[in-house]
Amino acid sequence: MSGTFFQRADGSPKTVIVTGGAAGIGAQTIRTFHDHGCNVVIADLPLAKDAAEKLISSLSNPDRALYHPTNIVEWSDMQALFRETKKKFQQVDIVVANAGMMESTGFYEFEEDGNGELKEPTGAYKVIDVNLKGTMNSKDGARGSITLIASTSGYFGGTGVVSYVASKHGVVGLCRASQLKANEFSIRVNVVAPFFTPTYITGEYSEMWKERGLPANTTEDVANAVVDTSTTPERKGHSVLVASKQVREIETVRTSLMQQWMGEEIAHVMAEGGKFFNDIGGYPLPKPRV
């Protein structure tokens, strides 16, 4: 890939923020962007400070790297992240909304409180907050590229991991719903959807997966797809599936098969509805109820 994709118009290096950048896919994405000459910013929780600093010290030019303690659910943290990044590197060119988590208790593993009633599933709600709200927070109005990390779980739901699957479907929906304004603001918003990748959240079954001989991504596979998606000008509203060594754009394929999927008549109705909203400049939002 040409070095020009990693440089600003004035020849200076582009600056990349990666949320959840201290470990796993995020850390490898930091390494890969840095290897291409970019400034890199690790946005991760305070508990990841040692890992983030170790990662920075391993880079060939630590001066082109920054760690910022960040809880992506907290708006003030995100404001500080973008503010400090611009203070050090002048501007933000690429954001990779990678931070995420999976529930530790099944949504349907009902627990009762002391009165024999169901407990509120706060753990499930935290997953939605981090994976969806936190991803929605990963913007500051700058021009450039935003790559949202979803999952094949954003298209399928058979694992039964309710909050994670629902949140990743939300991330895919976020990308779709952002395209009109993204084009208006000259921002490219895309999704990378990895299949099974050995990381912390897959740790409970990674060995069994390997023993069965099933294909798996490496963090390098996913990071390369993220870097390519983030820097390719033609990528707009795309969803890039990464499955082992296979990389395929699936969102435009889904769109092209709409008529076959829904039937010609319904597909026509849906297309006309979409054209209507485009013609009037978007969906008119209802006034708040008093």
Told to judge if 164 belongs to the known catalytic residues of this protein, a careful annotator would answer yes
**Catalytic-role residue among 67, 108, 125, 164:** 164
Strands 239-243 and 246-249: antiparallel
Active site residues: 164
